[in-house]
Structure 1
Amino acid sequence: MNILHVFRSPVGGLFRHVCDLAEEQARLGYNVGIICDASTGGASAASKLDALQAICTLGVHRIPMSRHIGFSDVKVLRNIPRLCAGENIDVVHGHGAKGGAYGRILAKMLHAKAIYTPHGGSMHYSITTPTGMFYLALERCLKKFTDGIIFDSKTSAETYRGKVGGFSCAHRVVHNGLREYEFDRLPRTEQENQFVFVGEIRKLKGLDVLLQALALIKDPAVSLSVFGSGPDEAFFKNRVQVLGLINQVTFHLPVFPVTKAFVNARCVVVPSLAESFPYIVLETAAARVPLLTTNVGGIPEIFGPHAYQLLPAGDANELAKAMQRVLNDHDSAESLADSLHNHVHTHFRFSTMVEHIVGFYNELLTSPMQLPINGQVIAQAK
């Protein structure tokens, strides 16, 4: 099987997901290729992609991709097929809004099966806003180019159904999973009162709510370390000054693996306003680190019977109270982290994720395609 993964920015959970998936598919003997943006991700992304280059027999290709829709997209769609010249691609798996659009159009050019995984993307927009109406209308147009959709959570599938409409192709829910070694106990150096945020620095991730909560605690000894980069970095650095937190908040470049950010963490905070099925939540739970996060997207599916711990999104007061509880009773926070670890270890395995995704590819490749010939429809296998 020849598999091509297409996505835009090599950052965050989406990047981790594609890297993990491509690496394992290559190990299983499939021919795998990657196409992504050349202008984002920094040194850590370049290092990871260089490592994948050695095992991806269809190559790792980086070309400039704009975050927003524009004339540059026409140039990208003209250039991408050249990268695949001479390859008999069976599956093009597009990830995220931009990667999903490129991937599905490319699949039709290459006569391959088009698979799409939203990873949030367009699904984060409200259908009541002009921007949301535009992007969701594009999603509806792209349905006709789609052979299959893999959702990372039941919530993502229901969101798609509600915003884009009923399914016109095969679809599956396949939860993200972690490798066995990621569930090993993380050796942590205790550091008093340190909270940690790890992720893309953009407003959707709720960092402003976290900064407000830190200000509400009113204790100069309480610190926050922010690991990541993103389009709103300048905005949040200014917010730190406005809120008087300059001596409590430090910004750091993204780290890989993210567990490097956990070593000195008393508690990881994921204050997202919207999510899909975030790896950072899985990774924190697997490492047995106390975690505060919100009741959005697929996070309740990760927490399962522990979902009562989740916080309302966008509520700085509730987050400040929860942070104070962690400071006051750290033993209880560690105990809750152990319980969540056991649940995640049981239900979210990497091997299961890969098995189900590859199985879905095979189902689509062996199912008949409906082709019109002389006004009649006949079935043909890919």
Structure 2
Amino acid sequence: MSGKLRIVHCFRSPVGGIFRHVRDLCAAQAAAGHEIGIVCDSSTGGPYEDGLFAEISHLLALGVARTPMQRHIGLGDVGAAWRTLGIVRRMRPDVLHGHGAKGGTYARCFGTAMRLGGRQVARLYAPHGGSLHYAPETRSGRFFFTLERMMERVTDHILFVSQYEERSYELKIGRPRAPHSLVYNGLRAEEFDPVTDAPDAADFLFIGMMRDLKGPDLFIDALDAAERETGRRLSAVMVGDGDDRAKYIAQARVRGLGDRITFRPAMPAREAFALARVMVVPSRAEAMPYIVLEALAAGKPLIATAVGGIPEITGSDSPALCAPVVTEIAGRMVLALKDEAAFRSRMPTLCTMKERFSADTMAARIESVYRAVLRA
């Protein structure tokens, strides 16, 4: 199939890395002349995400449809799926691109239903971590991995965002029976411009969802440990929203850091980068986090846990990397404080980042997959 495509991106929660990935794809695909639509949950996100939708609304010829989608599998999925199928049918997509576990399930099931109705639809799935975060020895893990294996029968192509994600899939689910590709996340050209620290910049910065998976509790305890080791009063800014935000504010107060950790709501990453000198990504699990790409492209020195695809960005021998435990994160904080210029000099170069992580390259490779599926 050649010419203009009707592409619908389906995912649950319009926050974090998945939403960022979808927005970038929408911009590149609209610029290439395709008609784009989004289907996602209406019960997550807030004013910040509403603003992000407003920024891309002019690119979405097929519109944005938001409908309630629950996070976990349950009886509510029946009604949600039926409503969402009706929305997708009206968009008449050539391509259904599902992101994350729930979006991937919906996209593949809806695409199959539409095929039975006579419309040729490409069914793409990008895990973005999703169900791969579960441990294989748990009941939930076994359930979701079995479901993933079954869904391969109605999958035209799986798009992995990192080698780590691909290896995790093979380890936990098995070698994909569906065709699959590795396509790294990419950044827009303007995101490779450096960000200058504010005059009153704090020592350390956390940006992310306020949930344990992203490690805000580790960040707070590591800051406390680094302060005790250095004998200095350290400062930090924590940017992000989430149901557990109040818990982390309370944790900071208990540690005696309530006056030195400033909590800010979600904001554009490049605005947040100016608020502190060193970025910390203390996640317990990741796929291929945009925040690491964005920070390095903006010239921020970085401390990050060696989880998911992060070592593929920084290099596996980077001094930025550590285990997701308080003592190691604190040790990297102390190292960065000793000589910030030397620490910064050991980050990946701007040239390397541009060569490997371009949004245009990402979009072009994904479009070639769409067309290969539609030709098959």
Is residue 2:69 matched to residue 1:65? yes
**3-state DSSP of counterpart to 2:98:** strand
Q: What's the CA shift string for 1:142-187, capped at 9, x where partnerless?
A: 1112111000011111111111112111100000111111111223
Is contact 1:196-1:267 (8 Å) kept? yes
Is residue 2:168 matched to residue 1:159? yes
Is residue 2:34 matched to residue 1:24? no
Q: What's the CA shift string for 1:69-109, capped at 9, x where partnerless?
A: 11111111111122134443211000011111111111112
Is residue 2:225 matched to residue 1:225? no
Please report how far the alpha carbon of residue 333 of structure 1 lies from its aligned counterpart in structure 2 after TM superposition: 2.3
Match of 1:335 among 328, 345, 356: 345
Is residue 2:210 matched to residue 1:201? yes
Match of 2:365 in 1: 356
Match of 1:370 in 2: none
Match of 1:297 in 2: 308
- The two structures, once aligned, show a CA RMSD in angstroms of 1.6
Q: Distance in 1 between matches of 2:162 and 2:47?
A: 31
Match of 1:259 among 260, 270, 286: 270
Q: Distance in 2 between matches of 1:117 and 1:134?
A: 19
Please report how far the alpha carbon of residue 301 of structure 1 lies from its aligned counterpart in structure 2 after TM superposition: 0.9
Match of 1:238 in 2: 250
Q: Distance in 1 between matches of 2:8 and 2:199?
A: 43
Q: Distance in 1 between matches of 2:90 and 2:321?
A: 51
Match of 2:38 among 20, 23, 34: 34
Please report how far the alpha carbon of residue 356 of structure 1 lies from its aligned counterpart in structure 2 after TM superposition: 0.3
Match of 2:336 in 1: 326
Amino acid at match of 1:324: V
Cα gap change, 1:134 to 1:94, in 2 (>3 Å): same
Superposition map of 1:1-382 within 5 A = 1-111=5-115, 112-191=121-200, 193-217=202-226, 218=228, 219=231, 221-256=233-268, 258-304=269-315, 307-337=317-347, 339-367=348-376
Q: Could you say which structure has the greater relative contact order, defined with CA pairs below 8 angstroms and 6 or more residues apart?
A: 2
Please report how far the alpha carbon of residue 207 of structure 1 lies from its aligned counterpart in structure 2 after TM superposition: 1.6
Of 312-321 and 91-100, deviating more is 312-321
Amino acid at match of 2:366: I
Is contact 2:202-2:275 (8 Å) kept? no
Q: Distance in 2 between matches of 1:87 and 1:262?
A: 38
Is contact 1:61-1:83 (8 Å) kept? yes
Please report how far the alpha carbon of residue 57 of structure 1 lies from its aligned counterpart in structure 2 after TM superposition: 1.3
Amino acid at match of 1:246: G
Q: Distance in 2 between matches of 1:308 and 1:84?
A: 44
- Taking only the aligned residue pairs, the percentage that are identical comes to 40
Please report how far the alpha carbon of residue 192 of structure 1 lies from its aligned counterpart in structure 2 after TM superposition: 5.6
Is contact 1:89-1:110 (8 Å) kept? no
Unaligned runs of 5+ in 1: 368-382
Q: Distance in 1 between matches of 2:201 and 2:53?
A: 36
**3-state DSSP of counterpart to 2:321:** coil
Q: Distance in 2 between matches of 1:186 and 1:241?
A: 30
Please report how far the alpha carbon of residue 59 of structure 1 lies from its aligned counterpart in structure 2 after TM superposition: 1.1
Is contact 1:194-1:267 (8 Å) kept? yes
Q: How many equivalent residue pairs?
A: 364
Please report how far the alpha carbon of residue 287 of structure 1 lies from its aligned counterpart in structure 2 after TM superposition: 0.4
Please report how far the alpha carbon of residue 220 of structure 1 lies from its aligned counterpart in structure 2 after TM superposition: 6.3
Query: What is the TM-score normalised by the length of structure 2?
Result: 0.93
Is contact 2:202-2:237 (8 Å) kept? no
Q: What's the CA shift string for 1:97-142, capped at 9, x where partnerless?
A: 1111111111112221210000111001101012212222221221
Amino acid at match of 1:56: L
Cα gap change, 1:293 to 1:20, in 2 (>3 Å): same
Unaligned runs of 5+ in 2: 116-120
Match of 2:118 in 1: none
Is contact 2:320-2:332 (8 Å) kept? no
Q: Distance in 2 between matches of 1:213 and 1:294?
A: 12
Q: What's the CA shift string for 1:29-83, capped at 9, x where partnerless?
A: 1111100111111112112212323221111101111111111111111111221
